[in-house]
């Protein structure tokens, strides 16, 4: 990776790369428990509206030329729609999640079976808590790994050993941004956007050193879950409402695609949460 010393890529010409995603329809979506600050089990949830928003997101991926597989949802697992948390797949090798909360624990085996049935090399879950691409974001040869609320630091070393990739640990300190993918978005193999205040001072310094020209999100854009985004190198799919972030992306030569995921946000999930990348 060549990152340090890169000039800001204002108006750069971007090239998309076809991706392979796994998604899970929100057939059984609900907010029936509270495991993050965004969740309020007050009965004010519409599975129908969630399904409409999910279908819009899936259609946007397909229309952009990406392959989207769908895993069958399971009754009693309302958060299974957030496929990104199901694991991490690199070079056809899949590590399944080991969830922190019992409410989501059964999802791990479901995703692990899908990995095996899809012909991937399934490595099982880590022994320490890891919540998949919620906390493990890939760019180039590097894995950025969040810790502090969900994924344990010990899992970072396991991931590095299992997948043969360097892992850089980042400390999350604001419980509203409990997963790394709520506070940082991978835009390209050497570019990210992030919300500095979500990270410890140590982690902020690491990010500044590694990504000196990163897009810095405002508090309002972070609160709109704008960093819970999916990029193919040119198209950036992100929750609607992060208008300042959208403007910055356009300035950098990206094409933002705001998607209404307001119903899914009631469970603390957005565009990236719904999307697990299958790297074969």
Which pairs from 47-50 meet CB under 8 Å and 24+ separation? 49/263, 50/26, 50/81, 50/263, 50/264
The mean pLDDT of 96-117, rounded to a whole number, is 98
pTM reported for the whole predicted model: 0.94
CATH of region 20-277: 3.75.10.10
Q: How far is it, in rounded angstroms, from Cα 13 to Cα 208?
A: 24
pLDDT of 5? 32
Q: Indicate the pLDDT class of residue 11, thresholds 50, 70 and 90.
A: low
Sequence-ordered list of residues with C-beta below 8 angstroms from that of 250, at least 6 positions apart, any chain:
256
In 3D space, the residue among 175, 222, 224, 223 whose CA is nearest the CA of residue 194 turns out to be: 222
Say what the pLDDT of residue 13 is.
86
Q: Report pLDDT digits (tens) over 21-32.
A: 999 999 999 999
Strands (E), the chain: 20-23, 67-70, 87-90, 93-96, 121-125, 136-139, 142-147, 167-171, 184-188, 191-194, 215-216, 230-231, 235-239, 255-259, 276-277
Distance CA 152, CA 210 (A): 23
Model pLDDT for residues 194-246, shown as the tens digit of each residue: 999 999 999 999 999 999 999 999 999 999 999 999 999 999 999 999 999 99
Q: Which of 156, 179, 257, 274 is catalytic?
A: 179
Residue 270: both structure tokens together: 């957005």
DSSP one-letter code for 6: P
Contact 168, 145 (CB under 8 A): yes
CB atoms closer than 10 angstroms to residue 246: 20
Q: Alpha helix (H) ranges present in the chain?
A: 47-63, 107-117, 153-163, 201-210, 219-223, 243-251, 262-265
Cβ neighbours of residue 185 closer than 8 Å, sequence gap 6 or more = 192, 193, 194, 226, 227, 228, 229, 231, 236, 238, 272
């810095």: which residue's tokens? 216
Q: How many residues does the chain have?
A: 280
Mean pLDDT of the 74-93 span = 98
Q: How confident is the model at residue 10 (pLDDT cuts 50, 70, 90)?
A: low
Mark whether 273 is an active-site residue.
yes
> Burial code of 187-202, b = ≥16 C-beta within 10 A, e = fewer?
bbebbbbbbbebbeee
pLDDT tens digits for 123-159? 999 999 999 999 999 999 999 999 999 999 999 999 9
The structural domains of the chain, with segments of one domain joined by +, span 20-277
Rounded to an integer, what distance in angstroms lies between the CA atom of residue 38 and that of residue 259?
19
Out of 66, 257, 273, 274, which one is annotated catalytic? 273
């Amino acid at each position: 990776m060549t990152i340090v010393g890169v000039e800001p890529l204002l108006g750069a010409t971007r090239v998309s790369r076809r991706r392979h995603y796994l998604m899970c329809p929100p057939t059984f979506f609900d907010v029936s428990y509270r495991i993050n600050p965004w969740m309020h089990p007050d009965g004010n949830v519409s599975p129908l509206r969630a399904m409409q928003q999910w279908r819009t997101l899936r259609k946007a991926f397909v229309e952009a030329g990406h392959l989207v597989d769908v895993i069958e949802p399971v009754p009693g697992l309302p958060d299974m729609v957030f496929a990104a948390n199901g694991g991490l797949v690199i070079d056809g090798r899949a590590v399944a999640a080991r969830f922190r909360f019992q409410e989501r624990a059964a999802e791990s085996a479901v995703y692990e079976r899908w990995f095996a049935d899809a012909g991937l090399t399934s490595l099982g879950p880590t022994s320490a808590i890891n919540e998949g691409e919620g906390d493990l974001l890939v760019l180039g040869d590097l894995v950025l790994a969040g810790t502090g609320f969900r994924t344990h630091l010990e899992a970072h070393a396991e991931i590095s050993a299992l997948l043969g990739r360097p892992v850089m640990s980042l400390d999350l300190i604001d419980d509203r941004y409990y997963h790394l993918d709520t506070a940082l978005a991978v835009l390209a193999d050497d570019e990210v956007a992030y919300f500095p205040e979500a990270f410890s001072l140590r982690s902020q310094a690491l990010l500044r050193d590694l990504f000196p020209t990163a897009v810095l999100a405002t508090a309002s854009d972070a609160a709109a879950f704008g960093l819970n985004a999916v990029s193919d190198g040119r198209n950036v799919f992100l929750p609607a409402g992060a208008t300042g972030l959208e403007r910055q992306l356009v300035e950098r030569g990206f094409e933002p695609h705001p998607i209404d995921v307001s119903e899914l946000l009631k469970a603390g999930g957005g565009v990236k949460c719904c999307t697990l990348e299958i790297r074969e």
